[in-house]
Structure formats: C-alpha cells, structure tokens
Amino acid sequence: MAVLVNEETRVLVQGITGRQGSFHTKLMLDYGTKILAGVVPGKGGGEVHGVPVYDTVSEALEAHPEINTSIVFVPARYAFNAVLESIENGIPLIVVITENIPELHSLKMIAYANYRGVKIIGPNTPGIISPGKSKVGIMPGQYFKEGRIGIVARSGTLMYEVAWNIAKAGLGVSTAIGAGGDPIVGLNLPEAAVILDKDEETGAIVIVGEIGTSDEEKIAELKREGRIKKPVVAYVAGRSAPKGKKMGHAGAIVYGEAGSYESKICALKNAEIPVAETPWDIGKILKRILRD
C-alpha cells in the first residue's frame, strides 16, 4: 500500500469555494481522488463540483465520518484556525497548500499536531500523490507515472520535473511528497525519506533538496548509520545562490556554512549517495543503480 495517501484516502477540502480550492478540487476529482466534503464558514448547504459544503469541520465529519485527510486552501490569515479545527476533530493527515502563513502560526500548529499525533504536510506544499491511487495536492498528475521510486522534495516545480524525467527513463513513482519550501514545515525531508524507506512498494528514493536547512545532511547521516537502507539519489538546487540572500522559497537561505550547497553535497557524497548535477540526470542514475 502506498504511504500516506492511497485508494482508502477520503478527503475534506477546507476553502473549497475559493478560486484555488474550487479549481484544484475539480482536478483532484478528475484524477480519481475521493473528495467527500468541503468546509467554508457561512457557506454550508452549497455544492462545488458536486461536493457538499459545510460550515464547520465537525459538521462535515458528522455527515462523512470516513474522512481521513484534509487539504487546506484557506488564505494565510485564516489558515491557522482552519488547521487547528482539523487537528481538534482528529483528522490524521492535513495537507496545507497555503503559503505566507506567519512562522509563529506554523510553529504553533505543527507543535499541536505533533502533540495530537497528526501529520501535517506543508505549509507551502504542492501536496502528495500516489500515482494511480490518490492525488491530494496541486501537482499536474499526468507527469507522475506509477512505479517504485519515492520522491521527497522541497520544490514543487522540481518535483514535477523529476517525476517526468523518471517516467521518460522508463521508471515510475510510488509516492511523491512535497515537504514545502518554508523554513518551518510539518513532515520534513528526513522524516519523509524514512517513511518511504519502510514502504514495500518503494524500491529507491529521490531527494530533491535546495539550500537552507540541514535536511539533506540529516538524510546523509541516516544513510550512513543504516537507518535508511534503500538506494538514495539526490539533487540539490541553489549551487550559485549568494549567502544571506533568499532564493525563491522562504527556507532557501544560507548564513555561514550551515545549509550551504557545499555542505550538503559533501555530506551526501560522504554517505555514498549519488548526487545528480541536473534534474535530468536522475533517471539515468536510478537506472544504473537499480540495474547494479
């Protein structure tokens, strides 16, 4: 069974009547994702693409108790309360698409989720997809072919590009997880890599990282210590980024040597993890590793 999302995933969309919520609800439904309800305070009783809308999460769960995942498209100023509402109602997986959530809010909601045993993906994530099973996110599903390669990525765009190049190499994806590009996220790259390492449907793992944070160095440590056993291939974006300047994502910023491109590459190579020079090299490296 694919990790985190699969055929048994039943989804609640928070912010379903907004432009992004409505648009991506339609795309997820077209992909085959089972969306049971939406929530927008004050708009209960309506429908979006045939999905019933409720005023509160508790009302949605009362009508659809099988819901086990929430995806959040709520604007940044309201996202904190929306996520807390799902945590309070015991939804075990929450995918937070919203970006620009204040860092203090992210810290609080992630800490509370951890306390309650809830997994948060994001914020500022493209979501998660298990090809052919379920898509809970905004990624273009056509780029993700079914297979045995797990992907964990901080960049959504690079995740799509890597998935497509894996497909062109004749391989496919078991589950792809977008950790999110903010400095503070729920499920981070090392945690996601460990989950994929334990998945029977995943034969190898691709790490799509970038400068900032020490996630890639932690993955290298896990690999050296044998806590990640499956083959790992990595790509790190930001080779030419100047120190002290944010590049793209809020989390892609380096001060000193910690989280630098050089630090990450050195750690990965010391752990004998092949590092691709470009995203287009990943498919070729995977084919060589899996053949050997």
Per the rule left: phi > 0, alpha: psi between -120 and 50, beta: everything else, 97 is alpha
Question: Strand (E) positions, the chain?
Answer: 11-14, 35-39, 47-48, 51-54, 69-72, 93-96, 119-121, 127-130, 134-137, 146-153, 173-178, 204-210, 232-237
**Distant-in-sequence, close-in-space partners of 81: CB < 8 Å, separation ≥ 6:** none
Q: Tell me what pLDDT residue 183 has.
A: 86
CA angle 182, 183, 187 (to 5 degrees): 75
Burial 261-290 (b: 16+ CB within 10 A, else e): bebbbebbeebebbbbeebeebbebbeeee
**Side-chain-facing half-sphere of 214: CA atoms under 13 Å:** 9
Query: What pLDDT, on a 0 to 100 scale, did the predictor assign at position 255?
Result: 42
Q: For this structure, is 24 an active site residue?
A: no
Say what the pLDDT of residue 242 is.
54
Per-residue model confidence (pLDDT) at position 260: 83
Which of 37, 55, 5, 35 is closest to 187 using CA atoms?
A: 5
Q: 186, 113 in Cβ contact below 8 A? A: yes
- Geometric angle at alpha carbon 10, from 4 and 16, rounded to 5°: 110
Which of 177, 164, 158, 121 is closest to 249 using CA atoms?
158
pLDDT along the chain (292 residues), means of 10: 89 98 98 98 98 98 98 98 98 97 97 98 97 98 98 95 97 97 93 98 96 90 97 86 50 53 93 95 94 74
Q: Out of 24, 49, 105, 249, which one is annotated catalytic?
A: 249
Q: Cα dihedral sign for 62, 64, 66, 70? A: negative
pLDDT score recorded for residue 257 = 52
Identify whether the C-beta of residue 123 lies closer than 8 Å to the C-beta of residue 185: yes
SS3 call for 75: coil
Domain architecture of the chain: domains with CATH: 11-121 (3.40.50.720), 139-291 (3.40.50.261)
As a dihedral over the C-alpha atoms of residue 281, residue 284, residue 285, residue 291, rounded to 10 degrees, the angle is: 180
> How many beta carbons lie within 10 A of that of residue 212, not counting itself?
26
